[in-house]
Amino acid sequence: AQKVTQAQTEISVVEKEDVTLDCVYETRDTTYYLFWYKQPPSGELVFLIRRNSFDEQNEISGRYSWNFQKSTSSFNFTITASQVVDSAVYFCALSAYTQGGSEKLVFGKGTKLTVNP
Amino acid sequence: SQTIHQWPATLVQPVGSPLSLECTVEGTSNPNLYWYRQAAGRGLQLLFYSVGIGQISSEVPQNLSASRPQDRQFILSSKKLLLSDSGFYLCAWSVTDSSYNEQFFGPGTRLTVL
């Protein structure tokens, strides 16, 4: 069965520090997708990125970057020059299928990031 | 653009009372729809999913049920709430096509059962 592990339960940094959130996954699928979501205090999950298993190129979007390493089954997320607005719970998720064949996401337990001014 | 609505935003209900949470999606047709629950300090757990009107599948056995009376409406219900039903309920939708697509989430409903 698919599994996502986010070993860091909580991280606290000072503004402008760089921070990396770890994500390790387990799957037997040969083709799969990985996702990151942000959950600010308001509660709504905000989609950040989708990456398929065939694309191991790192991706950068502004202060955000993602490092996908198939060899270690990891999909880590780095925030450069963190800001207070980055404070949120971040979830890593992995594609899976229900018994009925429909798509579903398997989520890690999340990492709570607090950026202090 | 697509938007997803959930209501109510918060709800406090006594044990044994009924429940009805509603989710609607705008700006898309025939979406996949999902209900997740997020318990305190835990990740999200898929409860129900639907690929079309009247088509509901459950991922885990529980005290809840779901219905999809219209293409873009998804309802989560219970006849008698339990304390363990407390949590943050999130509705999500995704596009139905050949690719594995990201899911987009609503604002959620925080349910407290007393």
Question: According to the model, what pLDDT value does residue B95 have?
Answer: 86
Which of the four pLDDT bands, split at 50, 70 and 90, describes residue B2? Answer: confident
Contacts of B51 in chain A (CB under 8 A): 102
Distance from CA of B78 to the nearest CA of A (A): 23
pLDDT at B30 over 70: yes
**Contact indicator for B72, B10 with CB cutoff of 8 Å:** no
Residue A65, token pair as written in the block: 């970057």
Q: How confident is the model at residue B66 (pLDDT cuts 50, 70, 90)?
A: very high
Between the alpha carbon of residue B31 and those of residues A18, B84, B94, B109, the distances in Å are 38, 29, 6, 20
Q: Which residues of A touch B6 (CB under 8 A)?
A: none
Check whether B16 has a pLDDT greater than 90.
yes
Q: At residue B98, does pLDDT exceed 70?
A: no
Q: Which of B10, B42, B105 to mutate to test the interface with A (most CBs of A within 10 A)?
A: B105
For chain B, strand residue ranges (E) read 3-7, 10-13, 19-26, 32-38, 44-52, 55-58, 65-70, 73-78, 87-94, 104-105, 109-113
Interface of A with B (CB under 8 A): 4, 33, 35, 37, 42-47, 50, 52, 91, 95, 98-100, 102-105, 107-110
Mean pLDDT of B90-107: 86
- As a whole number, the mean pLDDT across chain B is 91
- Interface with chain B: mutation pick from A91, A104, A109, highest number of B CBs within 10 Å: A104
Distance from CA of B4 to the nearest CA of A (A): 11
- The yes-or-no verdict on residue B102 having pLDDT over 80 is yes
Q: pLDDT tens string for chain A (117 positions)?
A: 889 999 999 999 999 999 999 999 999 988 899 999 999 998 899 999 999 898 888 888 899 999 999 999 999 999 999 999 999 999 999 988 877 777 888 999 999 999 999
Question: CB-CB: which of B57, B102, B106 is closest to A47?
Answer: B102
